[in-house]
Structure formats: structure tokens, C-alpha cells
Chains A and B, each alone.
Chain A
Amino acid sequence: MNSICISSAPQPLAAVPLVLPMPEARVRAGFPSPAEDFAVNRLDLTEILVPHPQASFLIRVAGSSMRDMGIDDGDLLVVDRALKAVHGHVVVAVVDGDFTVKQLHQRAGRMRLKAANPTFPDIIPKDGQTIEIWGVVTSGIKRFVP
């Protein structure tokens, strides 16, 4: 697997927001900073991408079956287990004990997992086989600079 490695240092997911608050103005000589009254928090990527931190996990993609939806080998996916998967969602599913990324199709009480690449067949549960939906993919992270 040719995964892109951003860093090998441990990085807790969403436990601590990585944002630095706008510094409160420190005043030495009595002139109040005009920014002081407008102190706000800088946009926090974690907050935007991870609305349910306890339920969110990062997963790495291996393979090209989701290519046409812009999900490529080595991409990182944010997977949210708090969402209920519905028709059309990109999901992480458990097929024969392994994780797989596909698009969920649910029509007339039947489900199948569709690839976004014509060279890959759909996964249709056989009789008696249950396919567990592990979580819903809410975003993908693609690095252009290693």
C-alpha cells in the first residue's frame, strides 16, 4: 500500500482542538488594542470535519474502486459512526471480516455496495450473509504536499 504519511508522530483525533485562540491583547502602556473586543477563535478544522468526536475515526484507503467519486488510494477518510447510513452515503462496511469503502445502495428493502469504478463489481450480500455498516464516510483528506 503506498499510503501517504503526513507524520508518524502520535496525533490524537479530535481530543484536543489544534487551534490556537487569538491571543488576548497584552497591553504594556495603557493603549488598549483595538482587536481586544473582537477576540474570536480561528476556524478549527477538527470542529468542521468532526462534529461527533467520540464517534469519529480516521481510516486509510487502499485500492482504486472508489476512484470516480474522488477517493483514491492512500486518502484518509473521516468516518462518523454516529450517523445512520442511508442510500447514497459512502460507507465503511465489514465484508468477511475486513473493512471496505463503497457507496451504499438501498432500494426496495435490498442493499448492495457499489464501487465507483466500472472495473469493480458490486457487492451483494448472499443469502444469510449480513454486511455490517461500520460507519459513514463524511470527508476525505487528500494531501498534495507530503
Chain B
Amino acid sequence: MYALVDGNNFYVSCERVFRPSLNGRPVVVLSNNDGCAISRSNEAKELGIKMAAPWFKIRHLEESAGLVGLSANFVLYGDMSDRMMTLAAGLGPTQEIYSIDESFIGLHGVRGDLVARGRKVRERILQWTGIPTCIGMAPTKTLAKLANHIAKTAERKPGSYPRELAQVFNLAALPAQDLDDLLQATDVGDVWGVGPRISEQLREGGIRTVLDLTRMDPATARRGWSVTLEKTVRELQGQPCIDLDDAPGPKQQIACTRSFGKPVHQLAPLIEAVSEFAARAGEKLRKQNCLATELLVFMHTSPYRPGPQCSRSVVVPLRRPTDDTLALAKAATDGMRFMYVAGYQFIKAGVILIDLQPASVQQRELDLGDPNEPPATRDRSRLMAAMDLINTRFGKGTVHSGGTGNPGTNRVWTMKQERRTPAYTTCLADVPVARA
């Protein structure tokens, strides 16, 4: 048995904990650079605001409907997520954190009334952190995800599903006939792993509801579509195919990319930006104990702005696999110098570390003594460890490589976050104020 614990409208819910005046009002949280809605309160959903709606298209609702748009405050969401996840872990013996607001809990060996236990955990998360959640339980992860979807929809849209399924729903506890009715009433596109393209194809083939898909022959799913859909069908039939991935393997690539607050056309700020991105990516790389063999740098103009368009990227092979920020920043800088062309308004750039390998398998090379290269034996791992420690303790970017530029001084490329709330739980100067 698995449970999926999922924060409702998570980013908006985090904001509301510290700004109770937002309760009952339509609220959206906007993506980087205040681009589009990435989290919507129920009131905002009722206004017809769709996921990923661009801010400039819904902005007029500020005046007419009291809509509040906030810049994403990921520092806050990260901390609240951490609090929520540790409490959700109390539901069962194993946990897989699936995203910032969702985690699967393995319920193997948990005895007693699962729904009652689920309600207790939900209540605790709500009281301790202020975040409302929904919990779906079922014999497979795909069904748990579906049960979660039903628990959420039953709560948000009264009448869509029976009321007792709201908030916490154990699909395995339902009599077979009731379950069939439920699956019959649920669109095939709501199944985890069935994207818009596949659900379109399924509908053309007469498979409209989850029940239709559940009754499909797994072999047909495999022949007509893919092994992935076959697994989905088996999971819907109650046969676990997707395990709890409690120790996710190292990522195959690490990216740090960002849109700029305003377009950048000069080389110097672009170099500053990519060397900072390389430093960030390097930190992530060291955290998972890997070395990168190649580094990709890219930049492009905005397709939504007038003017000449340009999109360039270059892969810089690293002389030897490395996790050294200075080497990564140098490669990113070299790549940027190489591909830079003047006369364009660049809006986004990024660094992606590719072809990662575990730091434990390091291949040494014959050093032919290139006089321009620093000696290969110069190990900077202790310097890197010290940098990471200082940046963890005193805040990101406290120490950085020389090319990155000074935060706060003329960095033209930083993000636009005009509507961001304070870092309520991670910065002492930002803690909420109560009147006395």
C-alpha cells in the first residue's frame, strides 16, 4: 500500500500562512520574472485562471476581482516543504519525496484504520504548519495518485465525487462496484503518466474513462503505445510496477538556468551570470558526489519581444572530470566568450553540466604538461568544501569566484521579483511582525 500526501495549492498556501489577510481572496503565485501563474488559490481557479496563465493576461483582475499576484518565494516554499515532508513521513515506514509538495509514503506493515491515521497526519500538518493537504491511498503508486486526485476534487468541487472521499481517501477500502463507478466518472487524462497526447489517442480509440483504461489488456497497451503505458495499466489493475524510489539515483545532468530581470546585451554581465550559474551547478554536483565531464552554456533572446532573435549554445569539454567551481566557471566563461555575438537583447542564459560520473571512479590521465594549464595534481576539493560550508552557513553567494560579480552591485541580470514576500522563516530581518 502507498499513500500520496500532497499540499493543496502549495505555494499559495505557504503565502497564506504568513499573510492571513490573503485567505478568501483570489491569489496566484507567479513564475520567475513574474511570468505566469504557477499556483492558484481556489478563488483564483473559480475566476477561470488557468495553470500557466501569463500575468499580463490576468493582471486586469487585480482591479476588477481583487486578484493578488505574488512573485515566487522559493526560499519560503522550500522551508515549508521540509516541515510538511517530515510530518508526512509519520504516516508510514518509507517515504519518497516526489516534488516540493508531494511525497509517496510506503504503508507496508502499518496496521489499523488507514483513513483514521491519514486524517490524523493531515490534521497535524495543517495545525503545525498551516498547510492544507490531501491524502490518497491505494495498492499502487498510480492508484494512490488517482485517489489523491479524487480526494482533492471531492473537496474543491462539492458534488463531483461523494463527500466522504474528500481530503483523505483510501481507494482499497471501497467495494468493487463503487470503485468501478468512481473510475467510470474520472477522465482518462487524470491518470498519472497519461499526458495530453496519449489521452487524445486513447480517446480516439474509445478509451475515455479510467475504467476503460483499467480494462485494457496490458499487452495491447504495450503494442499500441509503450512499456510505460503497459505499466500504468497494470498499476491501475492493482499490480505494483513502480517502486518507492526512496534513494533517487544521481541525476544525469544538472542545470542552472535563469531568465534575466531585463534583457542583457553586453558580454561582461553575461559572463558574470554564467559563472554564477556554473558555481550553483557545481554546488549541486558536489552535493551528489559527482564529477562533470562536459558543460553546456546557452543563451537566447526572447521570442516574445520585437527585434532580432538569436539563440546559441556550446558544449565545452572539461579537460578532466571535475566538480571544481573554478574550473566549471572558467569553462562557462570560455564558452560564453566563444559564442557571444553583439547586437542582441538576451533574456535567458544557463549552464548545464552533462555526462556526470560518480566522484569515486576517477580516471587519471597522462599529464603531458601543457604549460598553460594549472598542474593537474592541484586538488581544490578542500577549498570547494570550505566554500560550500561558508555559503550554507552565511547565505548563498557569500564567497564566490571572481568572475561572478558582486551581488547587489550593478548586476543587471538578476531576476525580476517585484511582488515577492519576505523570507519569513529563513532570515531574521524578515520574520513576521505581530502587533502587541
Listed in ascending order, the chain A residues whose CB lies under 8 Å from chain B are 1, 3, 5-13, 15, 52-55, 57-66, 71, 73, 76-77, 81-82, 92, 94, 96-102, 115, 132, 134
Contact = CB atoms under 8 A, between A and B. Distances in A.
A3 B87 CA distance: 33
Interface of B: 19-21, 23, 75, 79, 82-84, 86-87, 127-130, 394-395, 423-429, 431-436
A20 to B, nearest CB: 13
Contacts of B21: 96-98
Nearest to A67: B436
B163 to A, nearest CB: 23
Given A92-B434, A99-B435, A81 B425 contact: no
Nearest to B128: A55
Contacts of A102: 436
17 contacts: A9-B394, A10-B427, A54-B86, A54-B129, A57-B431, A58-B428, A60-B432, A61-B436, A63-B435, A71-B436, A81-B130, A94-B20, A96-B21, A98-B434, A100-B434, A101-B435, A132-B20
B425 A13 contact: yes
Contact of B428 (A11, A52, A101, A115): A11
Given A8-B427, A54-B86, A62 B394 contact: no
B436 A62 contact: yes
B435 A60 contact: no
Nearest to B424: A57
A92 to B, nearest CB: 5
Q: A13, A82, A99: which has the most chain B beta carbons within 10 Å?
A: A99
The 9 closest A-B pairs by CB, nearest first: A97-B21, A55-B128, A99-B434, A54-B83, A63-B436, A101-B436, A94-B20, A8-B429, A66-B436
Given A54-B87, A132-B20, 8 more contacts: A5-B429, A9-B395, A10-B394, A59-B434, A60-B431, A61-B436, A81-B128, A115-B436
Given A71-B436, A92-B434, A99-B20, A11 B426 contact: yes
B197 to A, nearest CB: 40
Given A57-B425, A81-B129, A76 B431 contact: yes
B283 to A, nearest CB: 16
A141 to B, nearest CB: 11
A137 B87 CA distance: 21
A104 B42 CA distance: 32
A10 B431 contact: no
A73 to B, nearest CB: 7
B20 A10 contact: no
Contacts of A11: 426-428
A18 to B, nearest CB: 10
Contact of B435 (A5, A8, A98, A132): A98
Contacts of B434: 59-62, 77, 92, 98-101
A57 B432 contact: yes
B310 to A, nearest CB: 37
Contacts of A81: 127-130
Given A8-B429, A10-B427, A12-B426, A65 B20 contact: no
A56 B84 CA distance: 12
Contact of B431 (A15, A52, A59): A59
A89 to B, nearest CB: 14
A117 to B, nearest CB: 9
A58 B427 contact: no
Contacts of B436: 61-66, 71, 73, 100-102, 115
Contacts of A13: 425-426
Contact of B432 (A53, A73, A99): A99
B74 to A, nearest CB: 13
Given A10-B395, A59-B434, A134-B20, A82 B423 contact: no
Contacts of A100: 434-436
B351 to A, nearest CB: 24
B368 to A, nearest CB: 42
